[in-house]
Structure 1
């Protein structure tokens, strides 16, 4: 008679490891060394052993899925979110896949659709929430929900210890120092700084620090109000350029505002970067196609995804505590700022 069904015991014998090691290796546990995992996988392939993923999840009580909620603006199609958040969503799904997880994505913007407890309902093993901070009702509802399981937030306007953000202060200092290196001395900050926009407040703080360290006077933030960031940037540019002491450079709190600033400056007859320098923040791909292409500060999207997933996939409390809270950023040189002036 032929041999019966191949089991994990057979794989363990062939690989020279325990059955529990086989289970952890094939589940992608980080506790297993790459060498051991490779040996187990080779033995499994040679024997024709395949993991019954559904049975494994039932035995472990885990779903193998992460829930990712994207918060949109109230009153709009919930899928109408910024290009930044679509990029962050993509990197988070990719990071989840690297750890062997599927992603369950939910776009939410209205109270009747709020749903956060995917772990409690048995749909996911962890929750990642990202999206616009201006939908205060959504974030307040999330904050009042007694969540089960691990969770982490990007865009959360509350400092409750579960957030992950870009290095906003450091990025702002990079931006301002680049403008100073191009010879600019009167640098305006465009963006609304309030409790609803904690990331803008952090960027303004970095702007202020960089200017003061250079012995230059920081200006008050010029608000960019409204749901349409590009339109807000256009309106703010008019305010800025009508000032009696007109600035020679603008640091916009995000790229969408910066794109509106560029449009309005062109309408008003100013040439960027010869007449005025402009720099944004977020690294949006749309900035590459602006006129001129927008110099910007870009978060490491791949690392952002990995950090978010690390918080909800940590196998120990120590691993969760050690996961980063700030995502590194870098300067992306395009053509909206003059070349560095050599002294």
Structure 2
């Protein structure tokens, strides 16, 4: 291989090991020679020598009593972008779905099965989050999406800006009595920030921020439907900002069953950018984080412990659940 590439054997070794002391041109010559000769690097041996696994463990937390089928579609999209970001840095992803308190595990770094751990999933499963938060206190290289506590190495959407975009869009359409739908107490830090952003945006327009509307149910879909039953039984709002798309989609279906026209009678904006929202009736206007960047940020925080900006930029995705600006 050295002869074919026109370099020394030590240069071949350094090039295949990915050392930065090798120029890009030399690395390409060595890689081309390796392909021509049908040579492949023994990655296991390389990992043993370096002490690295070149693996990132990604834990997806599901609800207690649930399984992978019950995971919010948002987290599947986030999982995909995280795996892609890891691959772009030369890491493979080890994905596990965990839910039951008696079967939680996560010492991937200590057991040398991974170089870092990323935790995403529902914050409704508090025992699971407490488990991984405790692990983070004595296991390095962990990152959390959302997270219910500020002392965790978290990455999350720019929730204040997202709420601002949602309220601005509803106000532009002529809505004034705008309600926020989602829990604001407990461990859902992202929802709390979205309500705070909603409150600030409403006050900036001289409008009254209503108490957060909540619904009961095991799933977000059910909570959205339940919240509509409560809101429609009292003084009805003319605009709705949902803390997440999954609730908004359940609510849209319930509103249609009640004969309420969206966006004619009621404007609706969600948050999360779920692809399924493009196929609802009407298609759901939503606030969407930059998923690719979210994955990159999670991987960077986990592997590098970088003090980078941890708020993922968001944008408003216009569909048809809010009428045209007036």
What is the match of residue 198 of structure 2?
A: 207
What is the match of residue 28 of structure 1?
A: none
What is the match of residue 83 of structure 2?
A: 93
Closer, same or farther in 2 for the Cα pair 1:298/1:11, shift >3 Å?
Answer: same
Identify unmatched segments of 5+ residues in structure 1: 1-5, 26-30, 315-319
Aligned length: 322
What is the match of residue 129 of structure 1?
A: 119
What is the match of residue 84 of structure 1?
A: 74
Identify unmatched segments of 5+ residues in structure 2: none
What is the match of residue 46 of structure 2?
A: 56
Summarize deviations over 1:233-270 as a string: whole Å, max 9, x none.
111112112223x2110001100111121112112211
State TM-score, norm by structure 2.
0.92
Aligned-pair distance for 1:87? Answer: 0.6
Closer, same or farther in 2 for the Cα pair 1:38/1:238, shift >3 Å?
Answer: farther
What is the match of residue 307 of structure 2?
A: 322
Q: State the SS of the aligned residue for 2:7.
A: helix
Structure 1 residues 131-140 or 220-229, which shifts more? 220-229
Aligned-pair distance for 1:22? Answer: 5.5
Q: State the SS of the aligned residue for 2:154.
A: coil
Please show how residues 329-340 of structure 1 align to structure 2 within 5 Å: 329-340=314-325
Q: RMSD over aligned Cα, in angstroms?
A: 2.3
C-alpha contact 1:192 1:221 (8 A) present in aligned 2 = yes
Task: Measure the CA separation in 2 of the matches of 1:332 and 1:275.
Answer: 21
What is the match of residue 264 of structure 2?
A: 274
Task: Measure the CA separation in 2 of the matches of 1:164 and 1:44.
Answer: 36
Aligned-pair distance for 1:14? Answer: 6.3
What is the match of residue 230 of structure 1?
A: 221
Please show how residues 164-175 of structure 1 align to structure 2 within 5 Å: 164-175=155-166
State TM-score, norm by structure 1.
0.88
C-alpha contact 1:12 1:19 (8 A) present in aligned 2 = no
Summarize deviations over 1:275-319 as a string: whole Å, max 9, x none.
1100100111111111000000011111111111111222xxxxx
Q: State the SS of the aligned residue for 1:335.
A: coil
User: Is the aligned partner of 1:296 residue 2:296?
Assistant: no
Closer, same or farther in 2 for the Cα pair 1:83/1:12, shift >3 Å?
Answer: farther
Q: State the SS of the aligned residue for 2:129.
A: helix
Structure 1 residues 230-239 or 173-182, which shifts more? 230-239
What is the match of residue 3 of structure 1?
A: none
What is the match of residue 18 of structure 2?
A: 24
User: Is the aligned partner of 1:251 residue 2:241?
Assistant: yes
What is the match of residue 45 of structure 1?
A: 32
Task: Measure the CA separation in 2 of the matches of 1:132 and 1:213.
Answer: 32
C-alpha contact 2:241 2:270 (8 A) present in aligned 1 = yes
Summarize deviations over 1:116-149 as a string: whole Å, max 9, x none.
1101111111100101011111111122235433
Closer, same or farther in 2 for the Cα pair 1:24/1:194, shift >3 Å?
Answer: same
Task: Measure the CA separation in 1 of the matches of 2:213 and 2:31.
Answer: 62
User: Is the aligned partner of 1:159 residue 2:150?
Assistant: yes
Task: Measure the CA separation in 2 of the matches of 1:133 and 1:12.
Answer: 56
Q: State the SS of the aligned residue for 1:164.
A: strand
